[in-house]
Structure 1
């Protein structure tokens, strides 16, 4: 038996990671989902650009007529109309961009959530919950900036830029050449800075994920933390992650901030050059004053799109850093991605038979993949007690037993024997590396996961209760159940008092993780949820560990009532709850030491006899 790995502080400093980075091509599908609206926005942007380009031409004509003492006529009203139309187009375009940006965020969240909740359980073992939550909340929000901070506006700006460039070329090629020289230098600087912004943004989002994980950890265990007097240490640890996120945010700010003065310098330098050289050319008679005024206006129109382009480049680089983290999850295979291949590779999947055993294990071997340092691993208690072979931690070493239909089978043994892993394999949270598990005589890998789980009720060891109401929890596995059914099953598990003490009845809130219920009540609610679904096979993992003697007896009566037509597989440390089982399977270190009834095992299996003696059952 190997020694446990040295403990590692959850707040230990880790080397910052940039994480995966997406390409612009991976961003396009999110935008193309709204292509009709985007084309309309681009049209508005182009119309707005044309309206803006017409303004300097009108201003030039107004100045020319004033110099010649001619009547202005309708020029002023045309200029006012262009200004108003340009402003209205800009406002409407801004609204549509914001709306479409929210649509991009929504679609990305839907895709991410859909894939995330279909990932193999092993992925959740190896990843931090807070980091996954951060990808749904924080990372997807950055995709909005691609639209709202200049990408689509930059398309209309390109029209303005080209139009202004042509007009400036016609007005004065010399001034245009000097302007382009100044602007070209600024563009080169911004392009060089964009890579730094992208890298810093990806690293910043990773640090935000670390912070979210730390906050989720501290909040979810706040009672344990306070009882242990560790509040200040937890605060310091979370603050360390907050500081790390702040530092990475500062890196992004520094890289982004360099873009702003570059654009400002380009604008000021261009304006000074135009005014200086242009004033000299006006004095020499090379151009008219009206042409210089129009050139300056076109200069502003040319520089503004550059600012939009710089902003779009910054926002896009930040979004691509976040999209890399989103795409990392979306690209992971779903839990059932390879089920067809697995089923096709089975040499003899068998057929479902009413005469076959409900559940049969045939020389099943299984080991958990070694977890990365940053993540946890399911079945931690079991993993710490077994040896690690290669990259897998061996848990089951050739387990064989059968659970006949309509019988009660108990799994007993010390912690780490592999009992909870057996139930996880029946549910196909994992697949065995060797051997086979049969459901009604057919290899479960040949069955659809949804169909398989539709036949199995599962009450986990920690009796999870979902935030919401009693009804929400009960209807999770039986959405069509009536209120009468819900109330009946609650009374069957002795939870009638919970209904009575709250006027809301089935709508009574249970709190986050069921905190408004006692440990025993949470366990009974989890069992009630499984009983209401009325599955033919029921898996109970330490389902009565938090119950007192009276409630345990009532629970046994309730289970006896529903067990008549069901197959039960029960894990229990307290042998008193399973001594009357039809079959008891004794496990140690992932192997089966013996199977039989209570009296048979007391006589034949020393480990079981010792367990029974310690619990005064012999």
Structure 2
């Protein structure tokens, strides 16, 4: 309902047209009464013509109102669905990577698409039908009361019988609808995972097992849906039987009154007209009630997303950094534990001081905490204790936007979006000109293979860059970082996916890029960081050694072990 508030004028207009249409239909009952008593019984042709014209006029008014109501309500359904999608997506973008590390993307996508589509259907159709039917029921009961108090009271005695199955079975349908949506979410998550990793699926000939697992999930959806459909069918059938049965019995009583002369034939005809309208409307309500219960289940799932707390929040009055082409970076007593690993610290009392323009390398075994440190620098996670300072300013006091605009990141697994080369390269700087993009690609040694594509820089790279080799993806990512031109470079195995020739070319490009910039390099291959100003050796979340390559070769057994594994006859094996 909160999403309807901005469009209250259209909501009011839709309700007004709904009342006009419903009241017009209800007035047809009086037309039926007049047609029987004043037309048929009295055989008055002129009066009959007038009554027919009256009925046609009412029908035209009602049809016009239906057009306006249908247009407005359908528009509201589409608009509300679009607004919900925008709100949920905006909220998802503000959640930290930690949230998505614990959630399956396919499940989130299912809520984002299927659930909002269901809400759209309910707002634009089912809700409108329920409101219209409710007005018809209330109006019909009033007109029935005006026509015959005795017969109406008899009808009202049966109302509790109709409400009992609505209350009991309606709650059951809502519960099963929520479970059904959850099963569909599981299905979406499995599809997302297997199709995104189709190379691995087919390489290991796992199609048969994946097919069986998928079929099991489809059957789980069907099983839950079968129970929901059963209870919904029982609900609709019960309401229809009880309401129509009650009206039939009441009509029988009315027919006896006509025979006794206490009720006219026209009054009974009008009463039956209203009774049938009320019964039909009650049946409609029972049918769409099930849909509305499904929508409640979908709304609950969406609400869970929208109410997920944002663990990394912006400060209300952020501090501002001065303009600079490079920055000092100070890390003081940083301690961090991943939310699902409370027993083990990923980082333990890390302290580093990096001068502006300095080139620093982080080396160590996998799981030592190197990439975790990068994530804390950009506040993707909140440290348990300690500080990170940029030019002496605590990053916790900066806005997230300004903080992250200080870094140009080249991750170990290059991220390529399903868009053109041009848009991929200027992802971090959307206002860059084509010439600036080309210069960045030339510097990253990517220009040659880009121009080999038929459409050059306008070439669509496919989902996750499926059209590129690993080395080409890496060079696109490096071009993106070059173009962003930010004060601090974070290079996480930036040359890991390159062959020897390409690696040498990109290393030359990175050397140019790193001139005058504060640079942190994660590397397993020591040949790529041998010329760094300083090298920090990390192990089990701690800095265990610091120095140049020469000093570490003398003083750090762990570094010596890395070096011995990567050297042949005393020379670096760069193959």
When normalised by structure 1's length, the TM-score is 0.88
1:377 is matched with: none
Greater shift, 140-149 or 579-588, is seen at 140-149
> How many residues are matched?
566
1:313-363 Cα shifts (integer Å, max 9, x gaps): 32222111111111111112335436459x8xxxxx999798996212222
Aligned match of 2:493 in 527, 542, 559? 542
**Local SS of the residue matching 2:381:** coil
Matched residue, 1:68 = 42
CA distance in 1, matches of 2:325, 2:235: 74
What do residues 157-200 of structure 1 show as CA deviations (whole Å, max 9, x unaligned)?
Answer: 33332332222223222322222223331122111111111111
Matched with 2:32 is: 59
Q: CA 1:351/1:78 → structure 2, altered by over 3 Å: closer, same or farther?
A: closer
Stretch of structure 1 that moved more, 303-312 or 426-435: 303-312
Gap change, CA 1:272 and 1:163, over 3 Å in 2: same
Q: Is 1:120–1:334's contact at 8 Å kept on the other side of the alignment?
A: yes
Aligned equivalent of 1:258, options 224, 227, 234: 234
What is the CA distance between 1:367 and its match in structure 2? 1.0
Rounded Cα–Cα distance in structure 2 between residues aligned with 1:547 and 1:557:
13
Summarize the Cα distance change of 1:536–1:326 in structure 2 as closer, same or farther, 3 Å threshold.
same
Offset from partner CA, 1:292-311 (integer Å, 9 cap, x none): 11111010222233233324
Quick one: distance in 2 between partners of 1:365 and 1:158? 60
Write the distance in 1 (CA, Å) between the matches of 2:10 and 2:209: 51
Q: CA deviation at 1:421?
A: 0.6
Give the counterpart of 2:471 among 515, 520, 524: 520
Take 2:4 and 2:234, find their aligned partners in 1: how far apart are those partners?
Answer: 28
- Map of 2:573 onto structure 1: none
- Cα deviation for residue 516 of structure 1 reads 0.4
Match of 2:6 among 33, 55, 76: 33
Structure with greater helix percent = 2
Q: Is 1:46 matched with 2:19?
A: yes
Residue 554 of structure 1 corresponds to which residue in structure 2? 505
Counterpart among 223, 237, 249 of residue 213 in structure 2: 237
Task: Find the counterpart in structure 2 of residue 135 from structure 1.
Answer: 111
Which residue of structure 1 aligns with residue 372 of structure 2? 421
Judging changes above 3 Å, is the alpha-carbon distance between structure 1 residues 82 and 144 closer, same or farther for their aligned structure 2 residues? same
CA distance in 2, matches of 1:109, 1:350: 33
Alignment map for 1:263-412 (pairs within 5 Å) = 263-337=239-313, 339-340=315-316, 358-370=328-340, 388=341, 391-412=342-363
Quick check: 1:183–1:270 contact (8 Å CA) kept in 2? no
Aligned to 1:105: 81
Does the 8 A contact of 2:325 with 2:516 survive in 1? no
- Matched position secondary structure for 2:176: helix
Note the alpha carbon deviations across 1:119-170, whole angstroms, 9 max, x for none: 1221111111011111110111121233234434433433332332222223
SS at match of 1:451: helix
Q: Do the aligned partners of residues 494 and 114 (structure 1) sit closer, same or farther apart at CA in structure 2, a change above 3 Å counting?
A: same
Moved more, 434-443 or 590-599: 434-443
Label 1:275 to 1:411 Cα distance change in 2 as closer, same or farther (>3 A).
Answer: same
Q: Kindly indicate whether the alpha-carbon contact (under 8 Å) linking 2:326 and 2:357 is maintained by their aligned counterparts in 1.
A: no
What secondary structure is seen at the aligned counterpart in 2 of 1:397?
strand
Q: Alignment partner of 1:592: what SS?
A: strand
Asked whether the equivalents of residues 198 and 317 of structure 1 are also in contact (C-alpha less than 8 Å), the reply is yes
Q: 1:463 to 1:560 in 2, by over 3 A?
A: same
TM-score calculated relative to the size of structure 2? 0.94
Question: Any stretches of 5+ residues in structure 1 without a counterpart?
Answer: 1-27, 344-348, 371-387
Q: Which residue of 2 aligns with 1:378?
A: none
Matches for 1:591-606 after TM superposition, within 5 Å: 591-606=542-557
Matched, 1:177 2:153: yes
Match of 1:497?
A: 448
1:240-262 CA deviation, whole Å, 9 max, x = no partner? Answer: 22221222222221222222102
Q: Are 1:364 and 1:398, in contact at CA under 8 Å, matched by a contact in 2?
A: yes
**Cα RMSD after superposing both structures:** 2.1
Q: Among residues 63, 66, 74, which one is paired with 1:87 in the alignment?
A: 63
**What residue in structure 1 maps to residue 124 of structure 2?**
148
Change (3 A) 1:355 1:184: closer
Tell whether 2:537 aligns with 1:563.
no
Residues 327 and 488, structure 2, Cα contact 8 Å, conserved in 1: no
Return the offset for 1:229: 1.4
Deviation at 1:594, TM superposition (A): 0.9
Where 2:4 maps in the other structure, the secondary structure is helix
Answer yes or no: is 1:433 the counterpart of 2:384: yes
Q: Tell me, what secondary structure is at the counterpart of 1:58?
A: helix
Q: Secondary structure at the match of 2:567?
A: coil
Contact 1:179–1:273, Cα closer than 8 Å, also in 2: no
Question: For the structure 1 residues 352 and 56, does the alpha-carbon distance in structure 2 shift closer, same or farther, using more than 3 Å as the test?
Answer: closer
Q: Is the 8 A contact 1:278 1:292 kept in 2?
A: yes
- Matched residues in 1 for 2:404 and 2:188: separation? 32
Q: In structure 2, how many angstroms separate the alpha carbons of the residues matched to 1:213 and 1:232?
A: 18
> Structure 1 residues 483, 355: CA separation in 2 closer, same or farther (over 3 Å shift)?
closer
- Look up the match of 2:457: 506
- d(CA) in 1 for partners of 2:324, 2:144: 86
Gaps of 5+ in 2: 571-575
Summarize the Cα distance change of 1:263–1:480 in structure 2 as closer, same or farther, 3 Å threshold: same
